[in-house]
Structure formats: structure tokens, C-alpha cells
Amino acid sequence: MTQNLERYHRQMLLPGIGEEGQKKLLASKVLVLGCGALGTVIANMLARAGVGHLVIVDRDFIEITNLQRQVLFDESDVENAIPKAEAAKMKIAKINSQVAVDAIVDDVNHTNIEQLAQGCDVIVDGVDNFETRFVANDAAVKLGIPYIYGGAVGTVGMTYAILPHTPNGDSPWEQAGVATPCLRCIFEQAPPPGMNPTCDTAGVLGPAVSIISNFQVTETIKVLTGNFAAVRDKLLSIDIWENDVRQLKVARAYDVGECECCKKRNFEFIDGKFASSTTTLCGRNAVQMTQKLSDGEKLNFDAIAKRLESHGKVKANKFMLQAHITDNGDAYELTLFTDGRAIVKGTKQPTVAKSIYAKYVGA
């Protein structure tokens, strides 16, 4: 490799990196899942740090409300309605031409995660829903790839580095004596839809996302340069408004639990057991989404109605909740039913419906 390393001089001065670490970064491939608030910061910083190959996957197009926090995008991207992954690739080409970027405009789900993750050295999480996180967690454990979880909403963010246990215990991090519980050791199931705030219903402070995603980038650089012992083994939770910083010890979760994923190696999310499905409805510009709630679980229409009221007219009876939503200038009608299924009117595209659901209901 005859790449010019001069631009990385300040980074190479760090004892944990050096020229050797820098060369490792340049030879690395990282999967960035989602290219929104978290993903743009992650892709930006990894590209500047000289991670040689980024695979950026996102299903959405850039909207004006993204610019408050999604650092790779500008007003012309909104005007040109460019997919986020493509816009990120164009920006990164200007930032660091030494970095190869694969821009993939697609939904990340159980059908494609293994293909996306294959051959990557780290998976970094910038997605907007828990179902995809559990899918990514399954892939990370199954393929033995470190997975850096991160999420932020309101003024609160969380991040955690998964260095997965492998069947033979011979991964570089295990040889260095570090492996951490997986996401399912800590949260057994994804939370039911509609129970958690989303950036689109509760808002989000830009710095909360930047801070969390920079922690994710830091852990990614540690992993890629082989500094496994330096990787944080705790779940970090920060409320930057309340100035509350917590580090939760989770190491025991692997030892005491019977995790389906990393202990039993039963990859239920990759197998699609909990996958939401979409059906384009006959005759209507509408997509039905089926979320899998636990038996007997019902959506809380009152709580969801309160969160959606700021977006437009919401009406509900005991059978359904209907909300009119304008998203990036397009009008949608979102109808939720008690078992978590939804009909998104205003599109025939399953990816658009999934995006609306993730933004305004949350899963």
C-alpha cells in the first residue's frame, strides 16, 4: 500500500494508533447501518480517520428537518432529493478520496443483513428502530463481527460495544481476553411499537446525537486498531440536558443469562421470527405493515395519540387510531390497529411505509 499517510499525522501521534494502526484503519471495511443523525457523524469521522472502505446503507431521502443534525448534508441535497447514502458517498469523496464508499439505498432487514455484513470488520449502528438493531446484533454474533450499538432521542443517548462471543473463542478480542454480552443478553426483546419516543415525535438535540456517535466512532477505531482492552465494556447512557452520565455494568449478563442469540446461537431475528412484514394493499396507494407483538399485547392508543398530535389531526376509537402526517411535504395517513399493525396511506413503497412507521410510531 503506497498511500500517503501525511494527512493522518496527528492521529498517528497517538500511541494507541501509530503508523501501524493507521495502516490497519486503511485496510478496514466498516458497515454503517443508517445514514441519519448518527450515521452521518459516524461516516464523516470514520472517513476522516482513514477507514479505507465504508459500506453505507440507508433507505431514506434527505429532508429539510434532517439538516439540524445530519452533518454530511446541505440544502442543495434537500432540493435535489438525493438518497442519504448517495449524498454521503459524494460528500466523503470530497473529504477523503482515499476512502472507498459503497452507497446502498435499501432497507436493512433480516433478508439482507448477512450479505451486507459479510467481510466487514465492524458494524456500526445508526438505525432508527430496534427491530433492525436486533437483526444487526444477530448478524454480528453469527458472523463474529464487533457491533457498536448507539441511539439517541431527545437529549438522551446510549451506546455500547458488542465484542461477540464466538463458538471457538478464538476471535482477536477473545484472545485479548475481552468479549461482551450481546444486545439480546441485555434487552431480550425489542420494545413493542409505539412505546418509545422517536426523534420525529419527541424531538432530538443535535449534540446528543453527535456525542453518542463520536463515542461509537471511538470504539470502532479501538477495535479496528486492535486495542480491544481499551474498548468500554459498559453501557454508557448520557442525558446532556440533565448532565447525567451513567455507565451500566453489563458484563454479567452473558454469564447469568441464557441468551438465545449469543449463548444458544439461535438467530431468531435473522430467521425472521419477529420480522415486520409489509403488503402493498390492493386498490389503494397504501402499504400494510404487520408488527409482531407478544400474544395479547395491545397498542396504547392514548399515548401514541398524544405524541402524534403535534403533527396533525389524530382521531381514535377503540378499534383504530388515524393520524394525518406531513413528512417532507408529502401527506400520509397513518392508521394503527390494536395488534400493532398499521396501514400507511400515501405510498405504495414498503420502504417509505417502514420509514414513516419508524419515525412516527417507533419500533
The span from the CA of 178 to the CA of 232, in Å, is 10
Q: Is 185 a catalytic residue?
A: no
Nearer to another protein, 258 or 295 (CB): 295
One residue of 170, 294, 318, 329 binding another protein per CB under 8 A:
318
| H helix or E strand, kind and range, residue 158 | strand 156-162
Asked if 281 is part of the footprint of another protein (rule: CB under 8 A), the reply reads yes
One residue of 341, 355, 360, 362 binding another protein per CB under 8 A:
341
Contact 33, 109 (CB under 8 A): no
Please pick, among 35, 120, 185, 199, the residue that the annotation labels catalytic: 199
Contact 153, 227 (CB under 8 A): no
For cell 418509545, what's the residue? 196
Nearer to another protein, 71 or 289 (CB): 289
Q: For residue 309, what is its C-alpha cell?
A: 398530535
Nearest distance from residue 153's CB to another protein, in Å?
28
Radius of gyration of the chain (CA): 20
Asked if 284 is part of the footprint of another protein (rule: CB under 8 A), the reply reads yes
Asked if 288 is part of the footprint of another protein (rule: CB under 8 A), the reply reads yes
# residues near another protein by CB under 8 A: 19
Nearer to another protein, 25 or 314 (CB): 314
Nearest distance from residue 323's CB to another protein, in Å?
13
Asked if 343 is part of the footprint of another protein (rule: CB under 8 A), the reply reads yes
316 backbone dihedrals φ, ψ, rounded to 5°:
-145, 145
If phi > 0 it is left, if psi is from -120 to 50 it is alpha, else beta; for residue 265 that is left
- DSSP-H helix ranges across 227-300: 252-256
Nearest distance from residue 290's CB to another protein, in Å?
10
Interstrand relation of 29-33 and 53-58 (parallel, antiparallel or unpaired): parallel
Nearest distance from residue 285's CB to another protein, in Å?
8
One residue of 197, 305, 339, 349 binding another protein per CB under 8 A:
339
Per 3-state DSSP, what percentage of the chain is helix, strand, and coil (rounded to 5)? 35, 25, 40
Nearer to another protein, 208 or 299 (CB): 299
Nearer to another protein, 9 or 284 (CB): 284
Nearest to 59 by CA among 127, 161, 160: 127
Binding site for another protein (CB under 8 A): 281-286, 288, 317-320, 322, 335, 337-339, 341, 343, 345
Q: Which residues are catalytic?
A: 199
